[in-house]
Amino acid sequence: MVGTQLKWDGYATAWARLHGGFDPRVAAPVVRAWLRFAYHVGYILGRLRVTPTAVTVGGVLLCFCVPLFAVRGVDGPIVAALFVLLAAVADSVDGAVAVVTGRTTRLGYVYDSIADRLGEVAWLIAFWLVGAPGALVVASGALSWLHEYVRARAVAAGMREIGVVTVGERPTRVCVALVGLLLAGLTGMIDPDLAAGTVTMAVAVWVLLAGFGLGQLLSTVRRALVTAG
């Protein structure tokens, strides 16, 4: 497999084919830079014969560290935010390793989706442990789960593409978890009671974006399936 690894252009073409035709070469500069970073790391890991599954499992373990460290001292949320960042890198890199080494499989796609949901549960538990209301945490998780469920069912019903990139996608959740925990740690250093308020605001933002994103997706799915039907 090592000798057949894809260069950037071939990787971008293969990646686009797996992501509804979205070409990373014409993405926004920040997105393009992130995907190129994931490609280079994936290329190196591919040469080292690290499997995509190993990276996925590593990412899940990093996510599980988030709630464990979030409540360890005043700076715990900051450490937890670092684990969210590392997990986000692993989440991008596992797919990059699979594409670069030609190991993309349908089963791997399912495992990756399960890993993403487990990771998000871990982040939301961290928010709850730091002080966010349980009902708000459950609502944010439920809306995000519905977002992914609706897309999966729409594809099964005949929608050929991802539909629409909404404001409630996985990268948004990563950003909310990362920034929310980081700010909770910083404000908690000033006044521990502020940390709970900060994560509550972060979860509220998660709920708003997830709800709006779900509305976007439902509207797009309706148009796509009515047209197809």
Q: Is the pLDDT of residue 2 over 50?
A: no
Active site residues per annotation: 116
pLDDT tens digits, residue range 100-140?
888 888 888 889 999 999 999 999 999 999 999 999 999 99
How many Cα atoms are found within 13 Å in the side-chain-facing hemisphere of 54? 9
Report the range of poorest mean pLDDT among 40-49, 160-169, 170-179.
Answer: 160-169
Alpha helices in 48-133 (DSSP H): 52-70, 76-100, 106-130
What's the mean per-residue pLDDT of the chain? Answer: 90
pTM (global) more than 0.75: yes
Domain boundaries, the chain: 2-228
Evaluate if residue 49 carries a pLDDT over 60.
Answer: yes
Domain 2-228 is in which class? mainly alpha
Q: What is the dihedral of CA 46, 50, 56, 58, to 10 degrees?
A: -130
Token pair listed for 179: 């920034």
